[in-house]
Structure 1
Amino acid sequence: MKRARQLLSRYGGRWALGLLLTLGAVLYPLDYWTSHTIERQDTIIADLRVRLEPFEPDKAIVIVDIDSKSLNEVGRFPWSRNIMARLVDQLTGHYGAGAVGFDVSFPEPDTSSGYAELERLAGRELKNVPALQRELAQLKPQLDYDGMFADALRGQPVVLGFNISSDQAKGVLPAPLFTTDFLNGREGRAYSAKGYEANIAQLQGAARGAGIFTATTDADGVVRSSPVLFQIGDGYYPSLSLATLAAFLDAKAVNPVMHGTVDTLSDSDKQASAFDTIQMFTRKAGRVVFPVGEAMISTVQFRGRGGPQGGAFPYVSAADVLAGRVAQEVLEGAIVLVGTTAPGLQDLRATPVNAEYPGVEIHANMIKSMLDGRFKTRHWSAQVVEAGLVGAVGVVLALALAVLTPAWSVLLAACAFLACGAFNYYMYTQQDMILNVFICLLLVASLFVLNLAWGYFFEFRKGRALVSRFGQYVAPELVAQMAEDPQAYNMDGESRELTVMFVDVRGFTTISEGLSPKELREYINLYLTAMSEDIRSRHQGTLDKYIGDAVMAFWGAPVSFPDHAGRAVATALLMQDSAARLNTDFLARGWPELKIGIGVNSGLMHVGDMGSAIRRAYTVMGDAVNLGARLEGITKVYGVGIAVGAATRLAAPEFAWRELDLVRVKGKNEPVAIFEPLGKPAALAPGVLDELAQWEAALALVRAQQWDAAQPAIEALAAAHPARGLYALYLQRIAHYRAHPPGSEWDGVTSFDTK
């Protein structure tokens, strides 16, 4: 008893909180509470589970693909019905396909032969021309394309496709599989539609049947399931996959099966959820049974990535079928689905395995599941299994984690996490049972964190760790601010709008050759100290790293600033002033001159703790970072100390700017405008704004290729400001363009092929 009291005193609080968390988690699969976030995570896990399941290629189902090759050889789609007739003749007559399903509908007559117009003329304007009447009678078999297609369909195991609609009834429906009368008063809830776009009567009457190929999507636009039966009015109609399989097996009847009998079912059970099976009575295979989900919708078991190269089913080009180039054994006796992967024909769907998955292959996967008699289903007992698993895992962890050391807690939690995932995957792959697992994983993580944090001064330890990790990167006052709310900051990777800066010493190799090792060390230390103080102390930047004599910094992380671009530009101007002061001191010591170039750019960047197991750093990466580095490198080309990207210039309108050029840097295709910041307009020397206006007018003349007007304008600027290397550069360019005109398509962009 004493030992029990000691355990309760020491661990009772943790046990009680852990069991309370477990109880809350158990109530989730029993529908006592819901969470869209958890549902979304379960969807993500389900998609991953689909992608991980292995598959074997199946040659019994073949997709005849109306692909780009077919469009090039035969012509644009839709093809005339005489071509479709030839395709059917080839598949059924020449190759002996077991069944053919068209993932295509034919809701309107084919008038492409011109026969209808000839018939109209013969009945009106040319009705008194007997020869025409005779010729038409002879030509009709050759020009009645719908008749030719119907003749090809007649007596063959060919199924046409059709679509459902909400606002029209077009074409002729096939005979329903069964009607509401068959249900004998029971509710047979299925995917319902008010209208349809079916096939013309001539074709529908000749075909073995028809199936609906409409794709159903989840809220995120992804196809994960497919109805097996659809309800239109009082009739129930098959999906294209079910209709094609029925034709292949020569089915006599298809209907749903309920749990038990009508007499044994309660009123609440006489609902759609009671239907869990579809049965077919066939001449070839006897009684065929396969399960369906609620509302007669089944989860699609996607096999492979889809398409000719990544799917589980062989693809052959429709052009090759028409030309007889396909090997006989590929199509003989196979279930053939005619569809398209050509991008312009709009039959590519977003699925868990591929964002551009051929719609026809969805039907192939459904047929494969029907043939195997196996569907991934969420059985009525799934909630009970989930609640039992969550309860068992939660109780074990709640009791055990409280008494284990941190190392053993990590091991137990990891094992529980993996065991939950493995059990879920086993039930999916081996038992075809769909179970949700995220609530169980979330409970494992929650119990682990609860017990790890218990007993520690969490906020204190977190704050102290934060100061230790970020103190070398950011200003002390920012570290103090972060320590006040440590949960709001971490070193995890994320994407943010930031501003990055790169600084480099001009001619550092020459400088290093002119100084002794001791002098060089002091030279660099003084320079880096001044630059680092300007970055951290004055404008709260984050010092990223030193790269030899270069400095990298950024603004906007870990502490977010809405004016990160303005802070970076102000820092760049301050650093140029600091470099000038240092240069005066260095020259007085007899040291080489100090000049620096600075590149600044803003944009979306990845920021976080990055590196290897050996060494890591809190840094930024991305295209915007690379552009900032390129801008630092090209400052010397334009004779300026600072070069800034267009995004930074837009984000810092409080400064006056001189546009330098439109450039295309190495590694990027799109040109960007680059600018030189001059400072706040109110602080500029007299005449600077007038000089800017003159330069902008001259630059516009250069881009308009008006060399005669641009040259004197820039010469006047160069004479007034002889130290400005930018003007000399553009005078050289004008001379070059006069000798080598860039042409009317010149976009004014300067390309840099080096970093």
Structure 2
Amino acid sequence: MQALSRHGPRIAVTLLPLILAILHAVGIMPMGVLQRLDDIIYDTRLRATMPGTLDERVVIVDIDEKSLAEVGRWPWSRHHMANLVNTLFEQQHIAMLGFDTVFAEVDDSSGLRQLQQLARGEMADQPGFAERVNALQTRLDYDSRFAQSLQGRPVVLGYYFTSDREGRTSGVLPAPVMGFEALGGRTIRSAPWNGHGANIAPLAQAAPLAGFFNAVASSSDGVVRTLPLLAEYQGAYYESLALAMFRLLTGSPKVEPGFPAQGWLGRDYEALESIRLSKGGSSLQIPVDDRLTVLVPFRGPGGPRGGSFRYVSASDLLAGRVAPGELKDKIVLVGTTAPGLQDLRVTPLSETYPGVETHANLIAGLLDGRLANRPDYAVGYELVVLVLAGLVLALALPLLSAARAVALSVLVVTVVLGLNTWLYLAHALVLPVASTMVMAAFAFALNMSYGYLVESRAKRELAQLFGTYVPPELVDEMVKDPDNYSMDASTRELTVMFCDMRGFTQISETMPPTELQGLLNTVFSRLTRIIRGHRGTIDKYMGDCVMAFWGAPVETPDHASLSVQTALDMSQAIRAINHERHQAGLPAIGVGVGLNTGEMCVGDMGSDVRRSYTVVGDAVNLGARLEGLSKLYGVDIVASESTRRQAPGFVWQELDRVQVKGKAQAVVIHTPICTREQTSIALEDELREWQKALKAWRNQDWNACDVHLLNLQRQSAKKVLYRLYADRVVSMRHSPPPAGWDGSTTFDTK
């Protein structure tokens, strides 16, 4: 919870895309780009999953360029249409015929009306003229001939609705299939039609059914993806061409609205979910969206060469070039692919898709009983997915590294897209997914941007505070959780180091200032790199001394071990520097290091004029005292017992038990020799012998101590420590220690 509260602003920023996506989903702030992206995803899936095979059940009779060239320009005379209908039923024996065209005007191409006007006017006095006109009426009344060809046959005529300002109407509409009362007081969003263009009365009365062929293009890109099954006009509902043909094929079942059963959705959920076709106790549900439309189940590329449906030229049928019975039991649609007749639509598959083939696809889909569906609960689904994905990202991204944030974002998008695709493939559900994908992308981008800006600022602030003391890698670590670091004073267990150049005063007296400066810079630069390389914090440089500590500002559990390894590496670095100085003919230098682990006060301390991040306390003072003892004992490093206990990975040699100035109690001091992995049998033997010498020393067994020291000096003749104790034994023989002596050495000076 602390992590979440600490990242509150970042979480809020990451939630912003979720809020915007929710406003889009519920329609308060619709974003066209998201709808367009959903359309692109749907189009891509459609192209990837369409069958691409020929549906032999439906045939399209094409009024193509060839037909227009042979028969004449459109509209054709109705006697041609009558001949076409008779040919299809009498010679081809088709199952059903539908017209993706409208016959809204009377056919005067035969001249019958003019002859009748003459018979009633100028030629009324001519003997036999009127009788001859009456005799020709049957042959010349092309509309009647066409109507007769339709009577008693399974034919569905086409018509269209309009929504212009004038609300013009023409022709006779068929009877509606459903009244407004069937909705039970509910309302349905549908296209606002206020006019129509229908067939003339003789044709409308002759055909058993008629259906509108309007196609509603998407408002976002003008692409036809759906066709309405029902249209509301003047308080009644009319069926589409495809639905009328399907109903005629299935015995003209009754059309009823399909609403969800009241249950967990509640009574307030009254969205139309389907159109129900009922007959004889059985019913068929056709899923529709809230605009009474269905997604067209496109089978493949459109047109005569598309391979989805067979195209037959109308002129070939009229000229008898199609073998009788070749179209037997086929469902036939009459339409056009001629560009001049302007029945080409923009669809997901083509920008010049024949309008008649959109109806053919829908009829085939109705026959298959599988139509992709955009259910009304898509909004609820979108909200649930958005909230779940958005909350996961908002709560998790601020806590993750950039790489893991990328992985989580990709995982969320993959899961959401995978679920959405599975619902499409397995259940034919077309549900929105673009809003979630875009939300996830923007949530990631905003989270990373905010993190970069804020962390960059935090890094700059921390760098200003700690950059001169703390290595860059520790600053990077601190930036990840800047609230945990401050300059405020606190008490912690730390390890402090004092490193002093020996004999600096004598060296400085023999060197010009520039050379002295170069020496100090060389030594301090190398030692500083080693300290920072082991996560140490530089406290200050004091003349020829450098002070550092471990465990702050970044907590380091192994601060003692790191300080010891640093001291050993520094000793090695000084040997390397001395090798370079020896080659240059310069005298060697030495350093003494004091290490102590204990409770210290750490923080930003100083005056209003100058401040620094430093440590103070008795433990710090002891570290300084120990550094001063290193030369006496002939070692580079002197560490306290507390440091030794917390650095078990090294080989130690106990030096003494000392009571330094300012400390009432004696402390045991040690020097680290190497890591445990670097030890040898000879070194272990030497240390065992040394422990025997120390024991004899503290037991005041001077003879035994002498024996052990002689053995040690034979092994390491140059070791100052053994000579120091040998001299102390001589002194003790002449001036024995007082009673109760604990074997410690007291130092009265710093």
TM-score range, shorter chain: 0.5 to 0.7
Aligned to 1:536: none
2:168, 2:196 within 8 Å by CA — same for their partners in 1?
Answer: yes
* Percent of paired sites with the same residue: 41
Where do residues 94-133 of structure 1 align in structure 2 (5 Å cutoff)? 94-133=91-130
User: In 2 relative to 1, CA 183–89 (structure 1 residues): closer, same or farther, beyond 3 Å?
Assistant: same
CA contact (8 A) 2:143 2:202 kept: yes
CA pair 329-43 structure 1, distance change in 2 beyond 3 A: same
The answer on 1:340 being equivalent to 2:336 is yes
Report Cα offsets for 1:193-229 as digits up to 9, x if no partner. 2222211111111111111112222334332322211
Distance apart, 1:282 and its partner CA: 5.6
Tell me the residue number matched to 1:84: 81
Match in the other structure for 1:50: 46
Q: Which residue of 1 is the match for residue 616 of structure 2? A: none
Partner of 1:195: 195
Q: Quick check: 1:373 aligned with 2:374?
A: no
Q: Please tell me the residue identity of whatever aligns with 2:88.
A: L
| 1:312 is the counterpart of 2:308 | yes
After TM superposition, give the deviation of residue 156 of structure 1 in Å: 0.5
Q: Residue 280 of structure 1 is aligned with which of 273, 277, 284?
A: 277
The alpha carbon displacement at 1:76 in A equals 1.4
Q: Given the alignment, which residue of 385, 391, 395 partners 1:389?
A: 385
- Displacement of 1:17 after TM fit? 4.0
Residue 9 of structure 1 and its aligned partner are, at CA, apart by 8.5
State the secondary structure of the residue aligned to 1:149: helix
CA contact 1:27–1:387 (8 Å) conserved in 2: no
- 1:236-315 aligned within 5 A: 236-260=237-261, 266=267, 274-281=271-278, 287-310=283-306, 312-315=308-311
- Per-residue CA deviations over 1:125-146 (Å, capped at 9, x if unaligned) read 2234444344334322221111
Q: Do 2:183 and 2:257's aligned partners in 1 also have CA atoms closer than 8 Å?
A: no
Aligned counterpart, 1:168: 168
Query: Counterpart in 1 of 2:557?
Result: none
CA deviations 1:215-274 (Å, max 9, x no partner) are: 222334332322211222243211111112222223043232333489x995x55xxx53
Q: Are the counterparts in 2 of residues 161 and 211 from structure 1 also a CA contact under 8 Å?
A: yes
Distance of 1:102 and 1:406 partners within structure 2: 61
Q: In structure 2, how many angstroms separate the alpha carbons of the residues matched to 1:161 and 1:307?
A: 20
Which amino acid in the other structure matches residue 196 of structure 2?
Answer: Y
| 1:273-295 Cα distance to aligned partner (Å, 9 max, x none) | 53322223469x96333122113
Report SS of the residue matched to 1:338: strand
Query: Letter of the aligned partner of 2:249 in structure 1?
Result: F
- Measured at CA, do residues 181 and 121 of structure 1 come closer, stay the same or move farther in structure 2, by a change above 3 Å? same
The 3-state SS of whatever aligns with 2:105 is coil
Cα distance change, pair 15–180 in 1 and its aligned pair in 2 (3 A): closer
Compute the displacement of 1:74 (Å).
1.6
Taking a change above 3 Å as real, the CA distance of residues 282 and 310 of structure 1, as seen in their structure-2 partners, is farther
Structure of higher CA gyration radius: 2
Q: Distance in 2 between matches of 1:13 and 1:191?
A: 45
> Could you tell me how far apart the structure 1 residues matched to 2:424 and 2:379 are?
15
- Residue 73 (structure 1) shift: 2.0
Counterpart secondary structure, 1:55: coil
Q: How does 1:464-479 map to 2 (within 5 A)?
A: none
Contact 2:188 2:290 in 1 (8 A): no
Cα deviation 1:326-350 (Å, max 9, x = unaligned):
4567622222111101000011122
Determine the C-alpha separation between the residues in 2 that align with 1:135 and 1:265.
73
Cα distance in 1 for residues equivalent to 2:304 and 2:326: 14
Q: Alpha carbon RMSD of aligned pairs, Å? A: 3.3
Partner deviation per Cα, 1:565-597 (whole Å, 9 max, x = no partner):
xxxxxxxxxxxxxxxxxxxxxxxxxxxxxxxxx
**CA–CA separation in structure 1 for the residues paired with 2:16 and 2:183:** 46
Task: Note if 1:350 corresponds to 2:351.
Answer: no
Tell me which of 431, 438, 455 is aligned to 1:435.
Answer: 431
Q: Relative to structure 1, is the Cα distance of residues 433 and 458 closer, same or farther in structure 2, using a 3 angstrom cutoff?
A: same
Q: What is the distance in 2 between the residues matched to 1:52 and 1:120?
A: 61
SS at structure 2 position matched to 1:106: coil
Deviation of the 1:112 alpha carbon: 0.5
What SS does structure 2 have at the residue aligned with 1:304?
Answer: coil
SS class of match (1:40)? helix
Alignment of 1:693-732 (within 5 A): none
Q: Deviations over 1:653-685 (max 9, x none)?
A: xxxxxxxxxxxxxxxxxxxxxxxxxxxxxxxxx
User: What residue identity is the alignment partner of 1:424?
Assistant: N
Aligned to 1:470: none
Q: How does 1:386-465 map to 2 (within 5 A)?
A: 386-453=382-449, 455-456=451-452
- In structure 1, how many angstroms separate the alpha carbons of the residues matched to 2:23 and 2:97? 49
| Aligned residue pair count | 451
Code of the residue aligned with 2:330 in structure 1: it is A
Residues 46-83 of structure 1, C-alpha deviations (whole Å, 9 max, x = no match): 33333333225322122111111111222211110011
Change (3 A) 1:179 1:397: closer
Matches within 5 A, 1:133-148: 133-148=130-145
Distance, in Å, in 2 between the alignment partners of 1:459 and 1:114 is 89
**Deviation of 1:416 (Å):** 3.2
Separation in 1, partners of 2:451, 2:183 = 63
Could you tell me which amino acid in structure 1 is paired with residue 236 of structure 2? G
Deviations 1:503-544 (A, max 9, x none): xxxxxxxxxxxxxxxxxxxxxxxxxxxxxxxxxxxxxxxxxx
Tell whether the 8 Å contact from 1:59 to 1:330 is kept in structure 2 after alignment. Answer: no
Structure 2 counterpart of 1:135, one-letter code:
R
Residue aligning to 2:152: 155
- Indicate how the Cα distance of structure 1 residues 43 and 254 shifts in structure 2: closer, same or farther if over 3 A, else same: same
1:229 lines up with 2:230 in the alignment: yes
Query: 1:107 Cα shift?
Result: 1.1
Partner Cα separation in structure 2 for residue 456 and residue 305 of structure 1: 49
**Residue matched to 2:61:** 64
Q: Distance in 1 between matches of 2:4 and 2:396?
A: 13
- Written as runs of structure 1 = structure 2, the 5 A alignment for 1:477-626 is none
Contact 2:93/2:325 (CA < 8 Å) preserved in 1? no
Q: Counterpart of 2:437 in structure 1: which amino acid?
A: L
Q: How far, CA to CA, are the matches of 1:439 and 1:190 in structure 2?
A: 25
**DSSP-derived class of the 2:159 partner:** strand
Amino acid at match of 2:288: V
Q: Please state whether the residue corresponding to 1:245 is helix, strand or coil.
A: helix
SS of alignment partner, residue 216 of structure 2: coil
Matches within 5 A, 1:29-40: 29-31=25-27, 33-40=29-36
1:180 maps to 180
CA distance 1:286–1:381, change in 2 (3 Å): closer
Q: Which amino acid aligns with 1:173?
A: L
CA distance in 2, matches of 1:371, 1:409: 48
Q: What displacement does 1:101 show?
A: 0.9
Q: Which runs of 5+ in 1 are unaligned?
A: 462-755
- Whole-angstrom CA distance in 1 between matches of 2:28 and 2:234: 36
Query: Aligned with 2:217: secondary structure?
Result: coil
Shift of 1:106: 0.9
* Cα distance in 1 between the residues matched to 2:311 and 2:106: 29
Unaligned runs of 5+ in 2: 458-750
Determine helix, strand or coil for the equivalent of 1:308. coil
Tell me what 1:543 maps to: none
Structure 1 residue 85, shift from structure 2 partner: 0.5
Matched, 1:74 2:71: yes
